[in-house]
Amino acid sequence: LKREKRRKKEEAEEALKQIEMKNKGSSLETEDDFEKEVASKPDSSASWVCFMAYWLGSGNVEKARLTAKRALDTINYRLEEEKLNVWSALFNLENSFGTHESLMKCCKEAASVNDSKAVFIRLAAVLDKSQKYEDLDEVNNSVLLKKHKRSRKVWCNYGASLAQQGKLDPMRDLFIKALKSLPKHKHIRTISHFAQLEYKFGDPNRGSTMF
């Protein structure tokens, strides 16, 4: 139990560190400073995420959540990438300070108002970075590889994660499945990607024969 608590604390500290990095070099220090900043740049995800970091740095997770919601309500609906940046920050927050249930609820809400593939790719990146590999496997196998199996990026991202974990046989099995699922015109780049993974993390000789 102590080990689990320590792990959760380390994850929370890392998430805060990642969000605070976006605020590096900023002269903004008070709540009023950040309110003026987002008022002057209402469509800037960077400004809103920095405001979230301010609240997390103060230990106020709920205010950080509310700031994210404000950002999503404020940013122009046409600026999809800016909104997705805020969603990503919210995923990081829920992943570290919330529960698995709150994270998945947040993701489903994001997917209902954004491009589903883009949302789940960002969720997968958060899970991968925090080394929650069982959850990552679930997202890939039950959502991304099921609903977006013609996306090269989905297969390649998952392959890279497996390789970095040292799961070489699952990575190789995934490569075979990728070629069966992807259109022919995507095969060359996919082969190149997995060959580089093999060369870097697995068997260089095997990797060289894949090109």
The pLDDT of residue 160: 98
The pLDDT confidence band at residue 195, using thresholds 50, 70 and 90, is very high
Mean pLDDT of the chain: 90
- pLDDT one-digit tens code per residue, 60-103: 999 999 999 999 999 999 999 999 999 999 999 999 999 999 99
Torsion of CA 188, 190, 191, 196, to 10 degrees: 130
Distance from C-alpha of 48 to C-alpha of 40, rounded to nearest angstrom: 11
Task: Average the pLDDT over 182-196 and give the result.
Answer: 97
- Cβ atoms of 52 and 61 within 8 Å: the answer is no
The pLDDT confidence band at residue 209, using thresholds 50, 70 and 90, is confident
For the beta carbon of residue 176, count every other beta carbon within 10 angstroms.
10
- Cβ atoms of 144 and 109 within 8 Å: the answer is no
The pLDDT confidence band at residue 26, using thresholds 50, 70 and 90, is low
Check residue 75 and report its DSSP letter. Answer: S
The pLDDT of residue 21: 52
Distance from C-alpha of 58 to C-alpha of 53, rounded to nearest angstrom: 8
Residue 27 above 90 pLDDT? no
Neighbouring residues of 82: CB distance < 8 A, sequence distance ≥ 6? 43, 44, 45, 75, 76
Task: Average the pLDDT over 16-30 and give the result.
Answer: 61
The pLDDT of residue 210: 83
- Cβ atoms of 73 and 87 within 8 Å: the answer is no
Residue 12 above 80 pLDDT? no
Distance from C-alpha of 78 to C-alpha of 82, rounded to nearest angstrom: 9
